[in-house]
Amino acid sequence: MTAIAQLAAALPPGRVLTDPDVTDGYSRDRTFLPPGRPLGVVLAQSRDEVAETLRWAAAHRVPVVPRGAGTGLAGGATAVEGCVVLSVARMTAIKELSPGDEIAVVEPGVITADLDRAAREHGLMYAPDPSSYEISSIGGNLATNAGGLRCVKYGVTRDSALGLEVVLAGGRVLDTGRRTMKGVTGYDLTGLFVGSEGTLGVITEAVVRLRRAPADPPATVAAEFPGLRAAASAVSAIIAAGCGPSMLELLDRATLQAIDDWKHIGLESSVEAMLIAQADSPDSAAVAERMRRLCEENGASFVAVSADPAEADELVGLRRLAYPAKERLGNCLVEDVCVPRSALPEMISAVEAAAARHDVTICTVAHAGDGNVHPVFVFEHGVPEPPPRVWAAADDVFRAALDLGGTLTGEHGVGLLKRRWLSLEIGPVAEEVQRGIKGVFDPLGIMNPGKAI
Ligand SMILES: Cc1cc2nc3c(=O)[nH]c(=O)nc-3n(C[C@H](O)[C@H](O)[C@H](O)COP(=O)(O)OP(=O)(O)OC[C@H]3O[C@@H](n4cnc5c(N)ncnc54)[C@H](O)[C@@H]3O)c2cc1C
């Protein structure tokens, strides 16, 4: 019996897929990266099935690629040759939702927005909301330490992760963290697993923090600018003035144009950038007015303020369309640098300079309130790899971010895409320490090999 047939026999019927036409659909994330051919795909439905798979993988020295919803933008869930793809997308139970303790206990396959909707029924919310929150999973969010639109006020996924259940390479089950808001017993293993991109183990359950949902709809500010740098300066001014927005998003002309071409939003020709800001505090109307003034002082050509929830949903919906709109233009290399917020205008200038220097189309959106900039390098549909001029422009952008005191990736992770730049940021000592940590959890080197570190 082949190794994969042994695994199929050890799991309940239907859990292991081996037909290449089917497994191909589980072999890629949302990057252009060509996957290796997996031996099979496991559709696990419980922690015990994950553990069985990891015991089998260790015995047969088979690489394991953990997979959530496959929406990643760094190649983290891209299959490697001869691996087993271990999908936890069918583990979708919200096992507990405690309004008293403001926590939820969830399986990893829960879709992010589903958890938020469940929490809202109790006057709570699950704050981290990547633009992909209707299609990404909590397990994937934890494994990438996903950010999102509300993170400027409520923090990234790590700030909502209290405890994890993780199946380690070889099948042992590790519980990290706790159900309490505080706790310092032992090393912070929860923090270590958050953002580890499936290289240390498979998350099979999480205790996450919920927060009170704001009582009233947010006040929303939409500001149009004649230049991207002016919009970035307005962001820095809003942060420096202590407005405390609950959302502060930036879209450039190319992104707005892509959305307009698709959804016909009536974009004026003079608009080069748009800021979408929200305030959800009890004094949201006053905060929105301050943000309006700061936008005007920094050169906005038009600013609208609204407390109408339908208008707010429409604007935020536009922002969430940014990535799919760009995918219509061509293949995309989606980047994710993050800089100190005061350096946002310089970062924007560096992106514009890289586009001009290498003659590359770059559409930029930003979780601007976090200094997190997504330059999206567009190249031709059907071309499997970005051409050299795209990589050269990306290289310029990465180096500029590091020179400004920033990082290569604010929220998407290193995956496969950014590994070659990793040492530029973390240096040899940190690399050695990280390899040591990997070795402790995964001595055989079979957990998502070649990714993240
Ligand atoms: C339209 C669009 C918008 C996006 N917007 C944002 C955004 O605003 N912010 C943001 O942060 N990201 C964004 N992303 C990227 C992506 O949605 C996130 O990285 C998300 O967290 C990935 O979740 P997933 O369930 O799809 O994970 P996958 O893509 O399946 O996996 C991602 C990584 O996590 C690992 N992994 C998955 N599940 C587990 C598990 N249970 N245990 C261990 N490792 C696991 C995988 O091995 C891989 O390394 C966007 C993507 C798209 C397509």
Provide the CATH topology of domain 3-87: 3.30.43
Q: 73 CB under 6 A from ligand 1?
A: yes
Intervals of CATH 3.30.43.10 along the chain? 3-87
Q: Are 354 and 415 in contact (CB under 8 A)?
A: no
Q: Kindly state the tokens that stand for 377.
A: 């390098």
Question: What is the predicted pLDDT for the residue at 65?
Answer: 98
232-256 residue pLDDT tens: 999 999 999 999 999 999 999 999 9
Mutational test site, ligand 1, from 47, 67, 142, max ligand atoms within 8 Å of CB: 67
Question: What is the predicted pLDDT for the residue at 241?
Answer: 97
Question: What is the predicted pLDDT for the residue at 384?
Answer: 81
Intervals of CATH 3.30.70.2190 along the chain? 216-326
Intervals of CATH 3.30.70.2740 along the chain? 329-440
At residue 25, φ and ψ (nearest 5 deg) are -65, -15
Question: What is the predicted pLDDT for the residue at 415?
Answer: 97
| CATH architecture for the domain at 94-212 | 2-Layer Sandwich (3.30)
Instruction: State the Cα–Cα distance between residues 356 and 389, nearest whole angstrom.
Output: 11
CATH code linked to domain 329-440: 3.30.70.2740
Mutational test site, ligand 1, from 83, 132, 323, 419, max ligand atoms within 8 Å of CB: 132
* CB burial of residue 419 (10 Å; 0-12, 13-18, 19+): middle
Q: 66 CB under 6 A from ligand 1?
A: yes
Ligand 1 geometric centre to CA of 72 (Å): 4
Instruction: State the Cα–Cα distance between residues 93 and 75, nearest whole angstrom.
Output: 26
* Residues in the chain, overall count: 453
Ligand 1 geometric centre to CA of 21 (Å): 23
Residue ranges of the chain whose pLDDT lies below 50: none
Instruction: State the Cα–Cα distance between residues 283 and 268, nearest whole angstrom.
Output: 32
Question: What is the predicted pLDDT for the residue at 383?
Answer: 85
CATH of 216-326, one of 3.40.50.620, 3.30.43.10, 3.40.50.300, 3.30.70.2190: 3.30.70.2190
Question: What is the predicted pLDDT for the residue at 382?
Answer: 84
Q: 131 CB under 6 A from ligand 1?
A: yes
Ligand 1 geometric centre to CA of 71 (Å): 5
Question: At a CB cut-off of 8 Å and minimum separation 6, what does 87 contact?
Answer: 26, 41, 42, 43, 44, 67, 68
Query: Model pTM?
Result: 0.96
Mutational test site, ligand 1, from 106, 131, 196, 370, max ligand atoms within 8 Å of CB: 131
Residue nearest to atom 7 of ligand 1 (CA): 130
Measured from the Cα of 112, ligand 1's closest atom is 25
